[in-house]
Amino acid sequence: MHNKATLRLHSSFAGALAIILCATLFAGNSFAQDSEPGEDEAMREYSERGADTCLRCHDEDSEYPVLPIFKTKHARIADERTPFAQLQCETCHGPVGEHGKRKLKKGEERQPMLYFGINAAAAREEQNGICLDCHRNQSRIAWHGSAHELADVDCASCHKVHAAQDQVLTTTGQPEVCYPCHTKARADFYKPSVHPVRFGQLACSDCHSPHASMTDALMAAPTLNQTCYTCHAEKRGPFLWEHAPVAEDCALCHTAHGSVHPALLTRRPPLLCQQCHSQLGHPSVARSPAGLADGMPSGFLLAGSCLNCHSQVHGSNHPSGVKLMR
C-alpha cells in the first residue's frame, strides 16, 4: 500500500531526522560537557559516615522521613545494583556537602540537597536522568519521546521510593496516582458502563504502558485494538464478514473508560449506527419517541435496537453472515 503519500511521509521524517542530527552534531561538544560531572564536584564533599549522616535527622519524626526505604528493593545491599550497595543516600542525592552540618550559624540557611518531585529545583530531565541511570532497562527503552516524557513528567511524580509500598505499583492504589493529572478518567469510572478500575479489578497499567509505548495514548500493546484483544480475543478474527471500523479502531464505537450508554458505546443506537448506515429503507428512517414502549413499540429503537437483528457487529464467520445477522 505504498504510494506518494508514503513517500511524502518518509521524506518528511528523513528531513526532520537530518535536521535534528545535524544540529546535534553541531552542538555536540556542549552536550558532552553537560553529561560529564563538572570539576566543581570536588567542591562538594561526600559525607564521612554515609547514610548515618542523613539518618541522624531524617528519622521517623522528621519532616522528610525516609526510613521506610529500608523495606524496599532499593535497600538490598546484596544486590550490588542498588543505591545502598553503593553510596547509600548519596547515590541518588549526590554528595552531602555542607548540608550535613550539625549546627548552623544564626541566620544561615542549610545547604540544599538534590531532591525529587514536582516542586524540586532540578529540571525534570535531570531528575529522571538519575533514575534512568540504573533503570534504563528493557521496559524503558522508548521512554524518551513518549507522552509522559514529552509532558515533563518526573519519576517522583508517580513513584514514592521512600514509601514501604509504592502506591503506583498496586492494582487498587495505582489509579489514585494517575487521577490528579487524568481527572476525567476518574469521573469516567463512575459512569454506568465502565471497565472495572473503580472496583480494583483493573489497574491503569493493564491497558497502558506509562514508561513507553508505540501509541500516543501509551497503550500496552502496539495498537489500541491489539491492547483490547488481550482481554477480548474473541473479537480479533479475522472474520469472513468484517465490519470495517471494528477491524480498524475499537474507539470508533466504544469509549475505553466509561459511558452513559451500554457496552461503553460512545453514543446510543440506533443513532450511533445511523452515523454510517444510510441505505434506503429501515437504516435511513428517523426513529422518534413515537416508537417507545408506550407508543408504537419499535424493534428498531428498543431493547437491542439495530442489534436486535444485526447482533454480529464485531464480525461474522457464518457463510450467510454478510448482513452480520448470522
CB of 207 to another protein, least distance (A): 14
Size of residue set near another protein by CB under 8 A: 182
Say what the alpha-carbon torsion angle 298, 299, 302, 303 is, to the nearest 10 degrees.
150
Query: Which residues ranging from 56 to 115 are in contact with another protein (CB under 8 A)?
Result: 56, 59, 63-64, 67, 70-71, 73, 75-82, 84, 86-88, 90-95, 97, 99, 109-115
Q: Which of 203, 235, 215, 223 is nearest to 316 (CA)?
A: 235
Question: Distance between CA atoms of 226 and 310, rounded to whole angstroms?
Answer: 24
Q: Is 128 in the site for another protein (CB under 8 A)?
A: no
| Contact yes or no for 210/148 (Cβ under 8 A) | yes
Query: Which residues ranging from 162 to 201 are in contact with another protein (CB under 8 A)?
Result: 171-172, 179-180, 183-184, 186-187, 190-192, 196, 199-201
Residue tagged 515533563 (cell numbers): 152
Q: Is 118 in the site for another protein (CB under 8 A)?
A: yes
Query: Which residues ranging from 217 to 256 are in contact with another protein (CB under 8 A)?
Result: 222-223, 226, 229-231, 233-242, 244-245, 247-249, 252
CB of 275 to another protein, least distance (A): 4
Sign of CA dihedral 11, 17, 21, 24: positive
Query: Which residues ranging from 270 to 309 are in contact with another protein (CB under 8 A)?
Result: 271, 274-281, 284-290, 292-294, 297-299, 301-305, 307-309
Select from 43, 102, 105, 106 the one that contacts another protein (CB under 8 A): 43
CB of 105 to another protein, least distance (A): 13
Question: Distance between CA atoms of 26 and 9, rounded to whole angstroms?
Answer: 26
Residue 72: its H or E element: none
Which residues sit opposite 219 in a β-bridge? 208
